[in-house]
Structure formats: structure tokens, C-alpha cells
Amino acid sequence: MERQNELDLHGKVVIITGASRGVGKEAALQFAARGARVVLAARTVEVDEALPGTIGETLARIEAMGGEAIAVATDLAREDDLKALVDAAVSRFGGVDVLVNNAAATTGDIWGKPFLELTRAEWLYQFDVNVHAPFTLTQLVVPIMEKRGGGRIINLSTGSGEVFRRAEEPPKLDAVGTFSLAVPGYYSSKRALDRFGNCMAPEFHARNIAIIGMHPGLVSTELVQIRVKERGLDDSVAVPMAVPARMLVYFAACENPWEYTGRLFWAEREMAEMGIELDPVASDA
């Protein structure tokens, strides 16, 4: 792929789920640095000793930069919270131009739990957060984007997606170091999200809305660092959070999104092949 020119994001309204930490927080900072108005969504409002980061802290960082943002406490498994999130974006900023479906169910006992021990409730919860929440948010924002002349929807995928450019995908790993990757609900639900983007791209194109899937790779997030210490995750190939965050900004700002819509991409590879530089704002670069 050839690198495209990037459009001005000043004044664009961007909803980012999972914005209290990790890639979501980093992307929020990068969007704000470009002049976008950011709507921060996550469950974490109060400080959690077990896992750092709150949407209030992300909001404070953006405001300290001189940016515009609001923080909306959102449980992605609750439909009412999703509606309230979009309503808040419209009420404060007048609409939505970009939706980044970043949040995923990646904590708790469901991670690394063998298939035969996984309960139906745990399986359904992963689909609620990883697939049904993006479905509902997409359904809510598409009419808003269409009225504003178009928009972008970017879904965070996983290594289960077809992003490797090979006749067959590499075999799925059972573990990285001693860290188990036996997470059937996570991989199945993320693959469903990939397919959602594939099948909706033609319909959304007619509304001038692009939908793009992106595999961030193994990223050196706060959660990954905790798992390195506690559960033996091998992070030797982990990339900084700034890498997938920068590519989220690129896909939101690229001049011609139709080259990318309905497809899946791998952040680290695409960034290198197109010669995209990290933004100076990148907090962990």
C-alpha cells in the first residue's frame, strides 16, 4: 500500500471505547493533539489499585494539552449506557465523525479458561462487549455520520483475523511463554467483529462511511505489563502503545478510506511499509 495524505481532524468528533488506559488512552491523546474533540468511554471511573488508569485521568491529560474532551462512564455490556454515550457526544459536540471500537473483554477468569470450563454467561459476556457493543454503537452513529456527510468506523481486531497475507493463517498459538492463549470466546467474538466489518462495508460505502479493521499486535499496555510479571507473558516482541494508536489516527484521517474499507490491517506492518512516523504526542514512544 502507498501512504495517503492525511486530512485535518480539527473539530472532528471521535468516540473511543476503552479510553481509560492502553491503546484507547494513547489514541485519545493523539486524536486530541490533532485537534479532534474526543468522547472517552470506559467503565473505570474510580482508581483501581489492580489496574491503573481512569477516563478522568485521560480527560485531565487532554485538557492539560489544551484539547477538548468529555468522559462518559460506559459499561459496554449495557445497551442503555451505549445510547447514553452517543447522546452525550451529540449533546456536547453536535455529532459523531469517527467511532473507534477499541474496548474488549480481556480481564477476569475468562482469560485462559479452558473451553469446557467456560460458562455460557462468560461466553455471552465476551460477545456482548466485543461484538454486540460495536454493533449497537455502529447502528447508533451511522445515521448521525450520514447526515454530517460521512464518517469512519475502526474496529480493533486480533491476531485471529486474516491480516497475514498468506494462503493460510499461521497456526494459533496455545501460549506465549507460560501465558495461556486459550480464550475461545475472545477469539471467536473478535472474528465475528471482523466479519461484521467485511459484510457491512458495501452498505456503509453508499452512505460515505468507511469501516476498517485493525490488528494492533501484542502491545505493551498496562495490562500486558501486569501479565508479564504475574503470569509469564513473553513481551519480547511487544510494540509501544503509540504504534496502533498512530495507525488509528491514520485510518481516521486518510484521504481515501475506500482503499481500506471492509478490510483488516496489522498496525506494525502497515506503519513500517507506508513509512508513517509516530506523532510527537506519543506518550510511550
- pLDDT tens for each residue of 198-251: 999 999 999 999 999 999 987 767 666 666 666 666 677 778 889 999 999 999
Asked if residue 235 is part of any domain, the answer here is yes
Give burial (CB, 10 Å; 0-12/13-18/19+) of 77.
middle
134 lies in a domain? yes
pLDDT (mean) for 34-48: 85
- Say what percent of the chain tops pLDDT 90: 65
In this prediction, residue 285 has a pLDDT band, given cuts at 50, 70 and 90, of very low
> Residue 219: which domain range?
13-274
| CB 72 within 8 Å of CB 14 | no
What CATH number does the domain containing 242 carry?
3.40.50.720
Determine, yes or no, domain membership for 3: no
In a domain, 281, yes or no: no
pLDDT band, residue 50 (cuts 50/70/90) = low
Residues 6+ apart with CB under 8 A from 189: 105, 126, 127, 129, 130, 131
Q: Is residue 174 part of a domain?
A: yes
Evaluate whether residue 282 is within a structural domain.
no
Cell of 122: 462468560
Whether residue 41 lies inside any domain: the answer is yes
Calculate the average pLDDT of the chain: 88
- Could you give phi then psi for residue 222, rounded to 5 degrees? -60, -40
130 assigned to some structural domain: yes
The domain total for the chain is 1
Reduce the DSSP state of residue 154 to 3 states and report it: strand
